[in-house]
Amino acid sequence: MSSQPSHIAQLQTPALIIDGEIATQNIATMAAELPGSRLRPHMKATKCTSLAKLHVLAGHHTFTCATPQEVVGMARAGFGTDLLLANETVDDLRLAAMAAEQDQAMITVAIDSDATLHAAHRAGIKNVMIDVNIGLPRCGVAPEHAGRLADSARSAGLHVRGVMGYEGHLMMVTTHSEKLEKVEACMALLRNAANDVGGDIISAGGTGTYNMHANTGVTEVQAGSYSLMDTQYAQLGLPFAQAAFVVGTVISSSAKWAVIDVGLKSLGMDHGNPSIDGHRVWFCSDEHTTFSPNDGTPPPVGTRIRVTPAHIDPTVAQHDAAWVVNGDDIVDRWAIDLRGW
């Protein structure tokens, strides 16, 4: 095989592919709804600076990151003048690595406790955001304690930019009126915390609630999965198309089923089985997916099959590169260069 295959038939599988035109259109659709700094695209979904460039071309210059590696990588790549680590960390070395990039970009770290505050201060981090628990039992200070934490951060000489909260437990609520009501209840908690904290930013949201913040007081939405999509978010009828797949090769075929070389180690499985158009997925093993056609005969050995992941974020993180395609033709290779922590 050449170093740059020209067709998906030449790929070693399993292989992550991205339809570049669809991803670009997804980004344009979101940019029209949330232009410029109204959107802080989340790099946890793609972990790829080449894809970040598409966000920049669409007018976005602020980014959300899930790991210090994403922050450092984005700063060094020159993408994003304003990077938010929307997770807590007390790792002195990783905080110091981010602090060392503060001449390249404004770097802000989420804090939700005195311990995370002091760790950021020791490392020389200049900017923090108060992470507020608005219903998802994960990170975040209780809303009534957010102001005190902000005061402590300012006393330590840090700049408090505002608050963030994540209504992640509401992303897959399917009834629009119910979701809107619950999102507003969460944002009321965040607005109250913002009044106590001060600062210019109220940051929240995700792909599942991106269109529910016109009147919530939120100044920026943290969404990421929309650019590539997956089968879980597809259930919501969002105006974004599937852009990413894992290509596999049929390695065994019988009268009733076939097996491809795409399995648990190349897919994010926490949202259930992947999908294969025109087929029914039976189950996934470490390196295999067993499936059968909805009608007809299973495909023969050697057939290339596109698998649609149920959860795009951890799927991308399983691969060191994505092949950019136009139809079945390969037009580029993008390194998944923000993997790791």
Residues 194-218: tens digit of each pLDDT: 999 999 999 999 999 999 999 999 9
Length of the chain: 341
For 277-313, write each residue's pLDDT tens digit.
999 999 999 999 999 999 989 999 999 999 999 999 9
The pLDDT value recorded for residue 4 is 87
Domain boundaries, the chain: 8-16+239-335, 21-226
Q: What is the mean pLDDT of residues 48-61?
A: 97
Quote the DSSP letter at residue 212. G
Rounded Cα distance, 207 and 271, in Å: 15
Instruction: Using the predicted structure, report yes or no on whether residue 1 has a pLDDT greater than 60.
Output: no
What pTM, to 2 d.p., does this model score?
0.95
Q: Nearest 5 degrees, angle CA 185-CA 188-CA 192?
A: 150
The pLDDT value recorded for residue 285 is 97
Q: Is the peptide bond before 14 cis (omega within 30 degrees of 0)?
A: yes
Instruction: Using the predicted structure, report yes or no on whether residue 2 has a pLDDT greater than 60.
Output: no
Q: Domain 21-226, what fold?
A: TIM Barrel (3.20.20)
Task: Give the CA count within 13 Å in the CB-facing half-sphere of 203.
Answer: 29
Rounded Cα distance, 339 and 92, in Å: 20
Q: How far are the Cα atoms of 52, 71, 125, 193 from residue 122, in angstroms, in the given order?
A: 30, 18, 8, 25
Burial class of residue 116 in the structure, from the number of CB atoms within 10 Å of its CB (0-12 exposed, 13-18 middle, 19+ buried)? buried
Query: Could you give the percent of the chain with pLDDT greater than 70?
Result: 99
| Contact between residue 46 and residue 227 where contact means Cβ atoms under 8 Å apart | yes
Q: What is the mean pLDDT of residues 332-338?
A: 98
At residue 80 the predicted structure's pLDDT band, cuts being 50, 70 and 90, is confident
SS3 at position 189: helix
In the CATH scheme, what is the code of domain 8-16+239-335? 2.40.37.20
Q: Which amino acid is at 262?
A: V
The pLDDT value recorded for residue 79 is 86
Instruction: Identify each DSSP E strand in 182-336 by its residue range.
Output: 201-204, 220-221, 244-253, 258-260, 279-284, 289-293, 304-307, 321-326, 329-335
Q: What is the mean pLDDT of residues 43-54?
A: 97
Backbone angles phi, psi at 298, to 5 degrees: -55, 150
Rounded Cα distance, 305 and 307, in Å: 6
Rounded Cα distance, 26 and 28, in Å: 5
Instruction: Using the predicted structure, report yes or no on whether residue 109 has a pLDDT greater than 60.
Output: yes
The pLDDT value recorded for residue 183 is 97
